[in-house]
A and B are shown apart, each in its own frame.
Chain A
Amino acid sequence: MFHFSNIVRTKGDPEIVKGGPSLKQPADQLARALGWFSIGLGVVELFAPRRVTETLGMEGRETMVRAFGVREIMSGIMSLSVDKNAGLWTRVGGDGLDAAALLSGLTSDNPKKGNIALALLMVGGIAVLDYRAAQDTKPRRPPRDARRKLYPNRSGFPKGIESVRTAARQIAAHAKTHLKTHAETNEVKQGDERRVP
């Protein structure tokens, strides 16, 4: 893969000779795959809802399928972002909604109930993957109540804060006096200029 990146290097810049280990875990790769899958499915649901409802024998539910498509796309984008864990949990929730919608179509008079059963099976399988990926990509931030190391002695001022404050006050006082003198001198000069006919 890094051979491509070497091609786009500016001539003379360092090129990769040997790649090091990646920070990406298998769960990250799975999250990425699920994210793209979600976007793909969402696009189909959004732009070809009739094909979906006909396949499932659930004609008349096109609006719901479109809404599910928007949800899939949003979840997919989220799963591809740095907040992938939140995206994956929205996918787990979405799997529940998908299953509920499919179950509502699983009636004895639906000639396509075999397709619905197959779809339910697929949703179940995907839900397992979503749940697994969501578990494995949990943010590794420490919990709020975790014990943290504090740094109460790191002032950065080797001579102490009071010494710095005193020095700053002296400089400010000096600057004020200097400015005042400068302003008075300036006023005289301006006055002189005004007196020039």
Chain B
Amino acid sequence: MKALVWHGKEDIRCDTVTDPEIQDPRDAIIKVTSCAICGSDLHLFHNFIPGMLPGDIMGHETMGEVVEVGSGVNGKLKKGDRVVVPFTIICGECEQCKRGNFSVCETTNRKRHLADKVFGHTTAGLFGYTHLTGGYPGGQAEYLRVPFADATHIKVPAGIPDEQLLFLSDIFPTGWQAAAQCDIEPTDTVAIWGCGPVGQMAIRSAILLGANRVIAIDCLPERLSMAEAGGATTINFETESVVERLQELTDGRGPEKCIDCVGMEAHVMPSLPDTLLDRAKQMVMAESDRPHVLREMIYVCRPGGIISVPGVYSGLSDMLPMGAFMNKGLTMRTGQTHVNRWTDDLLRRIEEGEIDPSFVITHTVPLAQGPEMYQVFRDKRESCVKVVLKP
């Protein structure tokens, strides 16, 4: 089969690889009908997250049709079922899964000894996302083996196009969780840093959850226009001061809720010296993340407010203003997404026409063009916001 394979920094190729096989009775094989490039795939493209090996298949936003099931799937899936595959692999049986904390499933990371050492405790196995999270082959391929398939799936009905359902795998529940864990109240102003695909979903989620006002921060005109279309007031951080503008928009009180949809690769700008220092330190491996957005959020958030972090951080972040964080009594909520906790509700909202997540797609191309699209997406060429690949 064809698959997008990681060969090193900035080197992803469309290779021919052997087809996946059932390895465990709880496995299923799906024929991929649509998959997508996620913003967090770019961290792997840049090799900023350790634990990738040449030969790893990329991709964790995938959907398709079940073509084979193992004997242990127990009728929960059958050949021909249409499924979206959540990026977090879950067993559905451990204590964390039972609590709904699916992204920290205690069972599915097959290389948990690495995660135990690096994170202190293992987290769930993830598709196509380093050997720290199991080294599972990803879904930017023609076929995908889904481990623990009896629990790791979202069954979806026929009649709704792939484009509306695909993002249940990651970015829609990720944006939703980011907003949900803000405990949004009808009087709240929610500020969202980053208007990439997750940022766009977080904006819509905050609106759906009843925020009084949503403020979106980015520098790319196409993303800001999409954010405005979704109901947000926008700030272009290249032309105005984020802190000053947020103070202005909130009568000096600061937003009650702040969401970081940027993560470890914050924009580097000479007018923001901390971003230059972070980049220099990242380059010599003295710091793994560039946490400018976290610093700004802590500084600007209203005392007693909530900071929600769906943006990916990989390791160590320097110079976080813990003094401000503590004295302002802020709460930080973060984590990889507990996808299956939210998908029943989100699927219902899609079916009822409340939201159509396909608004974010700007490019749809064959799988073989995937490597070039990584570059287009990274370089923000062609006003690219979200790429869907068709195997």
Which A residues fall within an 8 A CB radius of B?
1-2, 4-6, 8-10, 12-24, 28, 77-78, 81-83, 139-142, 144, 148-159, 161, 164-165, 167-169, 171-172
Contact = CB atoms under 8 A, between A and B. Distances in A.
Contacts of A157: 204, 207, 230-231, 354-356
Given A83-B283, A148-B220, A24 B23 contact: no
Contacts of B316: none
A149 B383 contact: yes
B353 interface: yes
Contact of A2 (B55, B284, B379): B55
Contacts of A149: 222, 362, 382-383
Given A150-B221, A154-B226, A20 B54 contact: no
Contacts of B3: 14
B82 interface: no
Given A20-B5, A23-B371, A152-B229, 7 more contacts: A2-B15, A2-B54, A13-B20, A20-B15, A142-B380, A156-B229, A158-B356
Interface string B359-380: 1101000001001101100011
Contacts of B13: 19-23
Contacts of B284: 77
Interface string B208-225: 111000000000111001
Interface of B: 1, 3, 5, 7, 9-21, 23, 46, 53-55, 57, 110, 135, 137, 141, 185-186, 200, 204, 207-210, 220-222, 225-226, 228-231, 238, 279, 283-284, 353-357, 359-360, 362, 368, 371-372, 374-375, 379-383, 385
Please classify the interface of chain A as helix (H, G, I), strand (E, B), loop, or mixed, using the class held by over half of its residues. loop
A22 B11 contact: yes
A10 B210 CA distance: 46
A151 B229 contact: yes
A52 to B, nearest CB: 24
A20 B367 CA distance: 12
Contacts of B381: 140-142
A158 B55 contact: no
B365 to A, nearest CB: 15
A174 B110 CA distance: 45
Nearest to A153: B229
A139 B228 CA distance: 29
A144 B362 CA distance: 20
